[in-house]
Amino acid sequence: MSFDFSLIAESLPLMLMGIGITFKLLVISGVLGFCLAVGLLLMRISGKWYLNFPAQVYIYVFRGTPILVQIFIIYYGLPQFEWIRDSVFWAVLREPTGCAILALTLNTGAYVSEILRGGVLGVGKGLLEAGSALGMSARQKFIYITTPIAARLALPAYSNDVISLLKSTALASTITIADMTGIARTIVADTYAPYEIFMSLAIIYMIFTFGLQKLFGVIERYLGRYSRREG
């Protein structure tokens, strides 16, 4: 059992070929998931039970089940129904990539909406009262007062969720997608050298995570530029 560095050098470029797919899964499902989360958030804070209740059930179900099960239900499960195979969605659901993006979107949307709700609930009552005193409508208060402050409050938790989304993209390899993990698993199946391959892949993911953390650090500093204490 020895560490084979030439094998790492050979397989590293192969694994990096999958970085595009990992990145694509992360960005598309991150953006779509965020839109879904905002929708769910608006439903939850609408104060109407027929909007609040379905959103709550949705969040409960998607946060209470493993993402792997969700991926399998969408990829292996949905084609069980004839009408899905005949519908327009089949173009997306036929492709494993489409399924993975759908599953990751639905999953991250549930988590992010709770994070955003935490931010919204953290906005000071006094500020909203000040808004009312200035004669702002509910919509104006939401856009000009709640949104900027809630974004600042929710950002640290949101950055953690983006990182766990990145880690979840690795599960796409279970439905035959050749992302970085998928390629690594193929190489390991051929060479049977799990240490070299998986460890170097772990380092790639860590660099990716580190980059995301730095990026969110910059955004956090930018959003907090007025609230930073002097000195």
Residues that bind other proteins (CB under 8 A): 1, 60-61, 63-70, 72-73, 76-81, 163, 166-171, 173-174, 181, 184-185, 188, 192, 194-195, 198-199, 201-202, 205-206, 208-210
Q: Would you say 38 or 204 has its CB closer to other proteins?
A: 204
Q: Would you say 5 or 76 has its CB closer to other proteins?
A: 76
Q: Would you say 80 or 133 has its CB closer to other proteins?
A: 80
Cα–Cα dist 179/17, whole Å? 8
Q: For residue 33, what are its two tokens?
A: 């998931």
CB of 145 to other proteins, least distance (A): 28
CB 160 within 8 A of CB 56: no
CB of 87 to other proteins, least distance (A): 15
Q: Would you say 170 or 178 has its CB closer to other proteins?
A: 170
CB of 140 to other proteins, least distance (A): 34
Cα–Cα dist 174/167, whole Å? 13
Judged on CB neighbours under 10 Å (0-12, 13-18, 19+), 6 is exposed
Cα–Cα dist 146/125, whole Å? 10
Q: Would you say 145 or 165 has its CB closer to other proteins?
A: 165
CB of 81 to other proteins, least distance (A): 7
CB of 129 to other proteins, least distance (A): 25
Cα–Cα dist 105/109, whole Å? 6
- Using the Cα atoms of residue 207, residue 208, residue 211 and residue 212 in order, give the sign of their dihedral: negative
